[in-house]
Amino acid sequence: MKENEQPSKVLIVDDVQLNLDLMKEILSDQGYMIATAKNGKSAIAKAKAHKFDLILLDIILPDIDGFEVCAHLKSITQTQDIPIIFLTAKKEKDSLIRGFQLGAVDYIPKPFSREELVARVNLHLTLRKTQEELIRSKEAAEAAGQAKSTFLANMSHEIRTPMNGIVGMVDILKRTTLSEEQLEFLDIIEISGENLLAIINDILDFSKIDTGQITFESIRFFVNYEMGEVIKMLNYKADQKNLKFTYDIAPNVPEMIIGDPLRLKQVLINLCNNAIKFTSEGYVKIRVGVVSCGETRICLKFEVEDSGIGISPENQLKLFKSFSQADSSTTRKFGGAGLGLAISKNLVQLMNGNIGVISEEGKGAVFYFDAEFGLTAQSISVSETNDKPQADASLMKLKILLAEDNLIVQKVVILNLKKMGHQVSVASNGLMAVELFKEETFDMIFMDIQMPEMDGVEATIAIRELEKFNNVRNPIPIVAMTANTLQKDKDNFIAVGMNDYLAKPFNNAELTHVLDRIYRRLKRKYIESNILNRS
């Protein structure tokens, strides 16, 4: 027994005093604290009154037998986890089976030997301590995981909110009349902001993967369209270095597959970004091919080839590890947090695939990965699949309630919405948003989550309750506008009655995209309402 460790407590139940005295002497010599009982009712009372680590229980007792005592103790939450060893002169198979069925962990036959008694008691007390330590470790790990998750959510909010001001104001300024020099300065701010946001996203994504909070959508999408989106997103960087940036899709790759296009693009953008970063002349090329294909599932292989600096065999071993780059000079020259490939590896594994690299120093590199997707009948158009904003969305001018406590974010959103021709009212907290909703009629609400007085979730619940009370047929669309980007947060927003989600920081295109979805929702309700009124 360790120093300062409390001795284990053992209850011995036997109606023969000689047996009680002998077992008490033997186990006391082992350093255990011993209590005794001579009948079943006394045993139950003592087990309830004291916390025992082990019970030695005779089967034959004067009032109720050991089986009844065991069944009673196992039925009570307070005593059900105490290990019970039966003391029995019976060696019949049925008696032993019944004892184990009732929850006993072992039995000691009478007459017993000192060595066997000590060995069995020591074994089960050790197992109990080990089990308790495992439970404590599990609870501590869960608490640490929850603390990490909470910290991640807070950091996401605290970092993304000011970034929204930077990204939003740059976007607004670029739509004003500026000189070439001023536009160049804004480009520098924009690129720096994008680089900072990329690092923030990498760190947050890595943490989300680490805590098991990454989830995957299962939607239909066109492979060709998504590859084009990757090219479009990174083509500016490639053009700046005069790199040829292309993609090639094998003829046997289906036009449409089922999976998560966002996560697929995240991996490809990571790989292509690296390829462009480490290539000073030549090309970067994406290739897509089929590895295997069944009736409902397909495995595709993606390759990103470049003509860049290449990677030595020893440095290849460092890739795909967290906060790691090929060498320190790489970090100094090219920057980055060293998380992109680690995140890519985790995402690929979650898509039931593997990732790797083929490279020689000075001779470029080919990063490759395979991923599994579903197959579907190709029955929908590109615009339906990718949910592109429709041109007529801008024709509908909306009366919008903005609930947001951050003054900079307020200004960014108001400027963007007013430029689109929408009318905006502002509430600086959730309570004010609910009051304004009572007083005026709005077409939609942008609802921040973390606000004083009443947060966005509470305000949404209050608004939905008001609508329910007033028998509102078409509830107002509410869009969560927040820096909380964890999937469980998004699920919670939808669960409390929100209709959509806009992650901070957002640009004008993303704001327009959300407005378009809300416009289509309002248009459907208008048509349905007219049909109902006519009928």
Q: Specify which residues 401 forms β-bridges with.
A: 425, 445
* From 20-34, 148-162, 261-275, 362-376, the region with the lowest mean pLDDT: 148-162
Q: Which residue did the predictor score with more confidence, 150 or 428?
A: 428
Q: Residue 421 pLDDT more than 50?
A: yes
Higher pLDDT, 147 or 243: 243
% of residues, the chain, pLDDT over 70: 81
pLDDT value at position 442? 94
- Helical pair 261-277 and 340-350, crossing angle rounded to 10 deg: 150
- 476 vs 467: CA distance, rounded Å: 9
State mean pLDDT over 40-60: 92
- When pLDDT is averaged across residues 441-462 and rounded to a whole number, the result is 92
Whether the CB-CB separation of 270 and 234 falls below 8 Å is answered with no
- The first and second tokens of residue 29, run together, are 């010599």
Give pLDDT tens digits for 464-480.
Answer: 999 999 998 889 999 99
Residue 330 has a pLDDT of: 46
Nearest by Cα to 304 from 339, 329, 330, 340: 340
In this prediction, residue 392 carries a pLDDT of 47
Q: What is the mean pLDDT of residues 109-119?
A: 88
* pLDDT value of residue 254: 93
Q: What is the mean pLDDT of the chain?
A: 82
Higher-confidence residue: 303 or 516?
303
Q: Is the pLDDT of residue 156 over 80?
A: no
Taking the C-alpha atoms of residue 217 and residue 223, their distance in angstroms, rounded to an integer, is 15
Name the pLDDT band for 185 (thresholds 50, 70, 90): confident
Q: Which whole number is the average pLDDT over 298-321?
A: 88
The count of residues in the chain is 535
Confidence check: pLDDT of 218 > 50 = yes
- The answer, yes or no, to whether residue 199 has pLDDT greater than 80, is no
pLDDT value for 300: 96
Rounded distance between C-alpha atoms, residue 499 and residue 501, angstroms: 7
The answer to whether 386 and 222 have CB atoms below 8 angstroms apart is: yes
Q: What is the pLDDT of residues 483-492, one digit of tens each?
A: 766 666 777 8
Q: Which one has a higher pLDDT value, 39 or 482?
A: 39
Q: Residue 131 pLDDT more than 90?
A: no
- Given a cut of 60, whether residue 388 has pLDDT beyond it is no
CB 493 within 8 A of CB 464: no
Which three-class secondary structure state does DSSP give residue 54? strand
DSSP 480-532: EEES---HHHHHHHHHTT--EEEESS--HHHHHHHHHHHHHHHHHHHHHHHHH
Confidence at 324, pLDDT banded by 50, 70, 90: very low
Q: What is the mean pLDDT of residues 389-416?
A: 78
pLDDT mean over 239-256: 93
Q: Is the pLDDT of residue 333 over 50?
A: no
User: Bridge partners of 34?
Assistant: 10
Non-local (6+) Cβ contacts of 48 within 8 A are 76, 78, 79
Lowest mean pLDDT among 260-264, 389-393, 421-425, 441-445: 389-393
CB 498 within 8 A of CB 484: no
Q: What is the DSSP string of 394-454?
A: GGS--EEEEE---HHHHHHHHHHHHHTT-EEEEESSHHHHHHHHHHS--SEEEE-SS-SSS
Measured distance CA(512)–CA(484) in Å, rounded: 20
326 — pLDDT class (breaks 50, 70, 90): very low
Q: Token pair for residue 42?
A: 């006394």
> What does the CA dihedral 463, 466, 468, 470 come to, rounded to 10 degrees?
-140
What values do phi and psi take at 216, rounded to 5? -120, 135
Structure-token pair, residue 239: 């053009």
Select the more confidently predicted residue: 44 or 165. Answer: 44
335 vs 106, residue with greater confidence: 106
Q: Over 60: is that where the pLDDT of 383 sits?
A: no
pLDDT of residue 498: 93
What's the pLDDT at 248? 95
| pLDDT reading at 201 higher than 80 | no
CB contact at 8 A, 372 and 298: yes
Does the pLDDT at position 290 exceed 60? yes
d(CA 299, CA 253): 10
Which residue do the tokens 């005593």 mark? 79
pLDDT of residue 90: 64
Cβ proximity of 33 and 7 under 8 Å? yes
What pLDDT is stored for residue 382 in this prediction? Answer: 40
Compute the average pLDDT of residues 282-293: 95
Looking at 12-16, 51-55, 68-72, 162-166, which range is the least confident one? 162-166
pLDDT at residue 4 in the model:
60
